[in-house]
């Protein structure tokens, strides 16, 4: 009798464990976190001249912005060599900071002069029958300390748009 109760408890515990794991996975899958597109193009920019910021406002990283004719998924990878205090980065499309590319704002605390690489992803769509979009990497000093950019490169992978491309 005790053996039967122990087996029932074990089966119940196993079933509850499966539900605890399966429920969040199902919710995550249902939320459609997918980006898709036929990435067929890429563009890159780099800078080797230094730049600095201080204060807590957001600024475009100078020399790394670009305008491209894109539709659907875009992937923007930025590698930046910085020094100074903590720094935050985000990738912004069309000057809309309220909707940065995923994962959103990222933070880095350099120890001396260090490089960091982040990849940001998102979707683009025509706006007023135009597929041209402006991509910027922005940076901010959350503490107001001076941050120095020593060099940087961005690479944008995208599907070419078809509407009113310049």
What would the 3-class secondary structure string for 71-88 be?
EEEEEEEEEEEEEECCEE
pLDDT in tens, 53-99: 999 999 999 999 999 999 999 999 999 999 999 999 999 999 999 99
- For residue 42, what pLDDT is reported? 95
Model confidence at 114: pLDDT above 50: yes
Residue 14, pLDDT > 80, answer no
pLDDT (0 to 100) of residue 39? 78
Question: How far apart (Å, rounded) are the C-alpha atoms in residues 8 and 21?
Answer: 20
Provide mean pLDDT across the span 2-18: 54
pLDDT of residue 122: 95
pLDDT: is 117 or 162 the higher one? 117
Q: DSSP state, 18?
A: H
pLDDT in the model for residue 30: 34
φ/ψ of 8, rounded to 5, equals: -65, -45
């Amino acid at each position: 009798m005790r053996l039967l109760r122990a087996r029932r408890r074990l089966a119940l515990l196993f079933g509850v464990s499966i539900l605890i794991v399966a429920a969040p996975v199902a919710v995550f899958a249902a939320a459609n976190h997918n980006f898709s597109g036929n990435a067929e193009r890429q563009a890159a920019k780099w800078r080797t001249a230094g730049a600095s910021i201080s204060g807590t406002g957001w600024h475009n990283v100078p020399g790394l912005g670009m305008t491209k004719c894109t539709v659907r998924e875009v992937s923007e990878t930025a590698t930046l060599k910085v020094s100074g205090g903590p720094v935050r980065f985000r990738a912004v499309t069309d000057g809309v900071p309220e909707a940065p590319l995923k994962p959103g704002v990222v933070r880095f605390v350099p120890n001396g002069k260090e490089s960091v690489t982040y990849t940001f992803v998102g979707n683009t769509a025509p706006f007023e029958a135009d597929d041209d979009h402006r991509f910027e990497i922005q940076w901010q000093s959350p503490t107001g300390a001076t941050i120095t950019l020593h060099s940087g490169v961005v690479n944008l992978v995208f599907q070419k748009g078809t509407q009113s491309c310049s």
